[in-house]
Structures are given as structure tokens and as C-alpha cells.
Amino acid sequence: MAGLFEDEPGAPEAPATDAPLAERMRPRELSQVVGQAALLGADSPLRLALDQGQLPSLILWGPPGCGKTTLAACLAREVSATFLPYSAVRVGVKELKAVMADAARLRRAGGAAPVLFLDEIHRFNKAQQDALLPSVEKGDVILIGATTENPSFEVNAALLSRSRLLVLEALSPDDLAGLLRRALTADEGLAADDPVASDEALLRIGERSGGDARFALGALELAAATARAKSTSIDVELVDEVMASSHLVYDKSGEQHFNMMSALHKSLRNSDAQAGVYWLARMLQAGEDPMWVARRLVRFASEDIGLADPAALLQANAAADAMHRIGMPEGALALVQATVYMAAAPKSNALYGAWKAATAAIEAGARHPVPKHLRNAPTRVMKDLGYGKGYDYAHDHEEGVAAMRCLPEEISDTVFYRPTDRGFEAEAAARLRDAWRLARRTTE
């Protein structure tokens, strides 16, 4: 056990004086943690458990820079437990098993369970996560896993069931501004340099940091160094100079990727062009693959507009083609044009409904043979078997519709496509109703 549990329980090592400001300002006590009031309030389940000296295994889910690592360390200190931090990117199961074996020996000797903190737990595969279960079940370790990805998809159900899920929110601009104000006056922060910063400047940093405390403190540190070099104070103009662009929290293969596309899709479905353009810009500015966005717009054109406005699919395909030809940033306007068009277009999900109804019927067993009158008969044998017999050529009729049913007899009256009365689909619906009636005129 030597070397693993010899430090004072829960006591984090003080950072070096030349460490980045974000590290120097990391809270050492739970009372110093910024934000997360819902999780840490006096009547919260976590706070009540801590007041009784208890800390359950936890999964901390939240965006980068919201304080997952800091919170884990402070929780360990709150219950006087040894804090063992690891990253799933750099540690293997063999090393963790050794740690858990030492923890088990400590527990048998009457010691307290250490807090095993595993950052980016979603990087562990199922087998690696399963290796943690025995020690968590026996209480040999208190596991705190941190992830930026949705635990529903990335953390084993067995591990989730043995842990309490805490959802951390991105820090608000006001939270960040308060943290920055404290960094200006703290001895471990920037107090030695005695920088002067306006409240507006600190709020601007907070607004442009995407809820990420680490990024905000880094921006303040750069702004303070710039102000010192220029013998000036930190004002809004200086902040804008050192923060050339806002910090966009985005993961092109993770939660943000799908959340923002969902927001775009649902905004367009609700005919909100303003929100549609906003979410499109958020994704493209964060580096999303524009062709993926274009493909999603093509899908939207058929799923949520369909025949209510057939031109929507043409617009979407034209935007995708333009993006393919000229790329970014010029091609972005083509996607904006398609996005606004989709928002303004009349909506119908009747095509999507028809597709779902047809596939559901097939999956339920509606896999009937093609009626013989609809089959081709290129050979004598096929004609002798009745292929093509009774087929009635639609163009031979003045109405352009033969008195003939085209679905298998067993489902001949099933309705899959149910058009709306919006846009062009209303006209299409009228035509289809007439055709349906004419096709059944000799059998009704």
C-alpha cells in the first residue's frame, strides 16, 4: 500500500506559483465551488448525505470546464477520504485493479474507502468498466466518474445502477464573472500584480467563455498580462482584443453534435427561421462538417415538408451541391438559404408517416406475393401461369386511371399515406382521392 494512501485524506497538493491561473484558483473546499446550486444546496440529496458523513459513488456528467474534477476532489475532502485521481485516457485496468486491491486491504484493516476519481470514464470500454464493479459493489472504493458524454450511451447500465448520476450545468456568465473577480484579488491568483478590471470586462469574458471556467480564467490571465504590458486596465476593448472569438463548446461526434442538430431540425419544423439560422451558425462556426449539415437538410425536406412543398427537396439538394462545389466559408450562404426556405415552407410529415406505416406492416408480416395482374410476363411459361392477366393499362382510360387494385388482396384497402391539406399536398391529396375512387369504381 506504500505510496497510494500515505497522504493526508482528501488533501489536494497546492499548485506551483507559476501554474496556470485556472489551476491556482481551483477550489479546495466545497464552499468555494462556483455554480451547481441545485446539486450542492442545503436540502439537496448530496448535501444531506455529506452531512451524515456519507458519499455514494457518483457519475458526474457535464460540459468541459464546469468543475467535475474540482467537485470530486472537494467531495473527497468533505468526507476525509483519500483522493486518487486518474484519467481513462492514460490509465489501464491493470493499474486500477492494483489500486482497488490495495483499497480492499485498507478496508479490511479498518480504514476508510478512498475516492477513486476516473476522468473521461466514457473512454473505457464495457469490459474495462465492468472491472470496476466488484470494488464499487463491496464498498472498497467510492467511484466518481466524470464524463462530457451522455452516460445513457457511454456508461454501463450496471455501473450506472450502482452510482448516483449528477448532471452539472455550464457556468453562467455571472458565475464566471464572480470567479474572475475573486481571481483578481486572491493571493494565489493575480493579487500580486494588482490588476484593475471593470465589471463589464469580466462579464464579457464570462459571456464569451461558453460556461467553461478554465477557459475564462485563461482569458483573464492573458488579458492581465496584456494590460500589464500596455500599462492599462482591463476593459471591454482589451477583452475583445485578446478574445478574438467566443469559446464554442462543441464535440463533432458527441452530445453537442446531436443536440444542436436536433435544435436546428426542431426549429425548422416549428417554422422558426431565426432559431434555424442561429443553430446552423453555431454548428458551422464550431467546425461541424458542412456536408453533414447539408445531408440533414435534405432529410428534413422529405421528412417534415414532403409534398407540402416539393421544391424544398430541390432547395436542399441545390444547397448540398453548392457546398460540395465551393466549400466553406462561401458555401455557408447556400445552407442559410436552404434553412430559411425550409422554415418558411408549409410542413407535412405525411411521407414520413407513410414510410413508417408501410415498413411496420411489412415487419408485422404483410409480405404478400405481387398480384399476378401486376407481374411482367416476358416468357410463354409466365403467361401460361397467369402473369399479367387482367392488367389494365391506365393510359387507355380518359381519366388516366384503370379500375384496378395494386395492393395485395389481403391489404387492398390499407391506407399508408395520409396527406394533409397544407401547401401543394392539398392538391396532391385531391388527385389521389380521385384516383383511389376511380381504381375502385367497378368493385364498390
Spell out a b/e string for 367-396, using b for 16 or more CB atoms within 10 Å of the CB, else e.
Answer: eeeebeeeeebeeeeeeeeebeeebeeeee
Domain boundaries, the chain: 21-167, 173-242, 255-344, 369-439
- Using left for φ > 0, alpha for ψ between -120 and 50, and beta otherwise, residue 2 falls in beta
Same fold, 21-167 and 255-344: no
403 three-class SS: coil
Q: What local confidence, expressed as pLDDT, does residue 103 receive?
A: 83
Q: What backbone torsions phi and psi does residue 165 show, to the nearest 5 degrees?
A: -85, 125
Q: Are strands 142-147 and 83-87 parallel, antiparallel or unpaired?
A: unpaired
Cell of 184: 483578481
pLDDT at position 158 is 87
What architecture is the 21-167 domain classified under in CATH?
3-Layer(aba) Sandwich (3.40)
- Asked, as a colleague might, if the bond just before 15 is cis with ω within 30 of 0, I would say no
pLDDT for the residue numbered 13: 60
Q: Which CATH architecture has domain 255-344?
A: Up-down Bundle (1.20)
What is the CATH number that goes with domain 173-242? 1.10.8.60
- What was the pLDDT predicted at 9? 47
pLDDT values of the chain reduced to their tens digit, one per residue, 444 residues: 444 554 444 445 666 667 889 889 988 888 888 888 888 888 899 999 998 989 999 999 988 888 899 999 999 999 988 898 988 888 888 888 888 888 888 788 777 888 999 999 988 888 888 888 888 888 888 999 999 888 888 888 888 888 999 999 888 999 999 999 999 999 999 988 889 999 999 999 998 888 889 889 999 999 999 998 889 999 999 998 888 755 555 554 555 667 888 999 999 999 999 999 999 998 888 788 899 899 999 999 999 999 999 999 999 999 999 999 998 889 999 999 999 999 999 999 999 999 999 999 988 888 898 999 989 988 988 888 999 999 999 998 888 888 888 889 899 889 999 999 999 999 988 988 888 888 887 544
Q: What is the pLDDT of residue 256?
A: 67
Q: What is the pTM of this model?
A: 0.61
Q: Is 35 left (phi over 0), alpha (psi -120 to 50) or beta?
A: left
How far, rounded to the nearest angstrom, does the alpha carbon of residue 346 sit from its chain's CA centroid? 28
Residue with cell 494565489: 188
| 23 contacts 15 by C-beta, under 8 angstroms | yes
Kindly report the length of the chain: 444
DSSP designation for 111? P
The whole-angstrom separation of Cα 200 and Cα 198 is 5
